[in-house]
Amino acid sequence: MFCFQCQEAAKGTGCTVKGVCGKTDTCAALQDALVHTLKGISLYAENTNADKKYGRFVSQALFATITNANFDDARIYELILEGVKLRNELKAISGANVTCDCANWIPSSMADAIAKGNSFGVLSQENEDIRSLRELLIYGLKGIAAYADHAYVLGYEDTAIYNHMFKALAATTKDLSADELVAMIMKTGESAVTTMALLDKANTSTYGNPEVTEVNIGVGARPGILISGHDLRDLKDLLEQTKGTGVDVYTHSEMLPAHYYPEFKKYENFVGNYGNAWWKQDKEFESFNGPILMTTNCIVPVRESYKNRMFTTGMAGYPGLKHIADRKEGGQKDFSEVIALAKTCPAPTQIETGKIVGGFAHAQVMAVADKVVEAVKAGAIKRFVVMAGCDGRHKERSYFTEVAENLPQDAVILTAGCAKYRYNKLNLGDIGGIPRVLDAGQCNDSYSLAVIALKLKEVFGLDDINKLPLSFDIAWYEQKAVAVLLALLFLGVKGVRLGPTLPAFLSPNVAKVLVDNFDIKPIGDVEGDVAKIMVGA
């Protein structure tokens, strides 16, 4: 295997024996064979007026290959078989004669698919710059695919997003120059903005605009179900089915922002958030005592002690865990087995007490825009620092906690994603009633931060987003962060600091393109970075 798609790539170069994430070499090969198949679908779909079902499938299958989403060989193989079937349908419809292996191969067995993945993996492209650009493109698409699937689940789709996915995936099979690939990457940034806007519309039209909310981080006395991942519709179904059963529902990690939506506030058994970012789950799932439902990434290798009470659903998967089937059209998923199990479990063991505050998505921030503008004009707020993104295991990530602690009192942190767990329990105070950490939501809600920045630009009458008193100090881990980064580049944001390390998939030449054109920089030491951030350097 060779995989370097996430920030935890072994030795900062790539995982070769087994993923640091726990992905096995067979699962890695199957995921490579799946991506290979999706390229074949795309080569036919890019020139046909393809039905939405093909775009849906490509989105879901790419989503399954995101870091920590699906470790289940059998499920990935099923997706390959389904992909080959869909590709052959398109081949017949288009009548085109495409010679690429990805457009024609037919797996005879799982072993055959593994062999295919091994011969068409990342390293099959020998030129390191072309490899780097192609993979950057694919990882951005994986992030977009996850957002597109979340929107689809709520009934929102846009064929332009699917069409871009086909064009860009197909582009990775062609003999394109570095400049042509860079142009495709920029178009992918544009598509990331479109997709995040669609998901924002899907979430807020379905569940209302997030509002400032205090979330309890302690526990109650009743048994509970812990729901993790990013899928809000799964949460809605679970809340409906647990209503009046005596079972409480707690969010974990990226599901925390669900508490900010008006629609979910009406459930009396929706009691709080348990634990921290994804990578601490092996300890926190143990002490939760009840069933855990993993709706998307991020799963870490599952311990025996809670294996029998952990479930996956949607595109998430893990060998040996029960998988809750998809809903039938217009219906709900059936969580009765999870609820029945919860009733037999003790209540969660308390690991923290208190409250955290969030809900500062764009509509809520706009509602207090006057106050914010006043504070900036009066000099009470000197700088906004976007510290969104992901959390992860690396010790160096304490940098983000220390930056939050060391930023002066007149700096406000804008956040989204699980990166917030590095500083959202620090009680950093407020500026005239505006909290110094404004949490917009999940990584899926990063769009809110772009909307807020563009709105501030308008309010202050500026012609360039980079003239705002705004800096970006982003923590990245997986491929949704890559999509968000491409979106920021498309929006013209310059000078983003990225950490804890730069992506392993950027070759020195590709990294140089990003530095020269967008002034992207690696994080440095806390003291130096805080000083530079405060003067916009």
| Binding to ligand FS2 in span 324-383, by CB under 6 A | none
With binding defined as CB under 6 A, does residue 4 bind ligand SF4?
yes
For ligand SF4, which stretch binds (CB under 6 A), given 3-11, 252-260, 332-340, 416-424? 3-11
Query: Cβ neighbours of residue 395 under 8 Å, at least 6 residues apart?
Result: none
8 binding ligand FS2? (CB under 6 A) = no
User: Per CB under 6 A, does 278 bind ligand FS2?
Assistant: yes
* Nearest-approach distance from CB 359 to ligand SF4, in angstroms: 31
Q: Is 6 in the site for ligand SF4 (CB under 6 A)?
A: yes
23 binding ligand SF4? (CB under 6 A):
yes
CA distance 175 to 510: 17
How far apart (Å, rounded) are the C-alpha atoms in residues 302 and 320?
10
> By rule CB under 6 A, what string of x and - marks binding of each residue 433-452 to ligand FS2?
---------xx---------
Burial class of residue 374 (count of CB atoms within 10 Å of its CB; 0-12, 13-18, 19+): middle
Interaction partner, residue 390 (ligand FS2, ligand SF4, none; CB < 5-8 Å by kind): ligand FS2
| Residues facing residue 389 across a β-bridge | 475
# of chain residues touching ligand SF4 (CB under 6 A): 12
Per rule CB under 6 A, is residue 452 in the interface with ligand SF4?
Answer: no
Rule CB under 6 A: say whether 478 interacts with ligand FS2. Answer: yes
216 phi and psi angles, rounded to 5 deg:
-70, 130
Interior CA angle at 206 toward 203 and 207, to 5°? 80
Phi-psi region of 359 (alpha: psi -120 to 50; beta: other; left: phi over 0): left
One of 144, 199, 390, 403 touching ligand FS2 (CB under 6 A): 390
Closest distance between ligand FS2 and the C-beta of residue 297, in Å? 4
State which residue, 130 or 443, has the beta carbon closest to ligand FS2: 443
Specify the residue, 257 or 317, whose C-beta has the smaller distance to ligand SF4: 317
| Closest among 314, 306, 264 to 284, alpha carbons compared | 306
Token look-up 């302690």 returns 218
**Cα gap 356→139, rounded to integer Å:** 32
Handedness of CA 506, 167, 494, 400 (dihedral sign): negative
Q: Quote the CA–CA distance of 459 and 436 in Å, as a whole number.
A: 21
| 253 binds ligand FS2, rule: CB under 6 A | yes
Binding segment toward ligand SF4, per CB under 6 A, in 18-26, 104-112, 371-379, 411-419: 18-26
Residues 6+ apart with CB under 8 A from 7: 390, 392, 394, 476, 477, 478, 500, 501, 503
Backbone angles phi, psi at 311, to 5 degrees: -125, 150
Q: C-beta of 514: minimal distance to ligand FS2 in Å?
A: 21
Q: How far is CA 164 from the centre of its chain?
A: 19
Q: Are 69 and 316 in contact (CB under 8 A)?
A: yes
Residues between 88 and 107 with contacts to ligand FS2, criterion CB under 6 A:
none
Window contacting ligand FS2 (CB under 6 A); options: 241-249, 259-267, 403-411, 473-481: 473-481
Q: How far is the CB of 143 from ligand FS2 (least distance, A)?
A: 9
Within 62-91, the residues that bind ligand SF4 by CB under 6 A are: 67
Q: Which of 43, 404, 418, 489 binds ligand FS2 (CB under 6 A)?
A: 418
From 1-9, 84-92, 320-328, 412-420, span contacting ligand SF4 (CB under 6 A): 1-9
Q: What angle, rounded to 10 degrees, do the helices at 508-518 and 128-153 form? A: 60
Among residues 456, 443, 531, 442, which one has the least CA distance to residue 493?
456
Q: Is 30 in the site for ligand FS2 (CB under 6 A)?
A: no
Residue 298 binding ligand FS2, by CB under 6 A: yes
Q: Return d(Cα 98, Cα 357) in angstroms, integer.
A: 54
Question: Which chain residues interact with ligand SF4 by CB under 6 A?
Answer: 3-6, 8-9, 15, 19-21, 23, 67
Contact residues toward ligand FS2 (CB under 6 A) are: 68, 253-254, 278, 297-298, 390, 417-418, 442-443, 477-478, 480
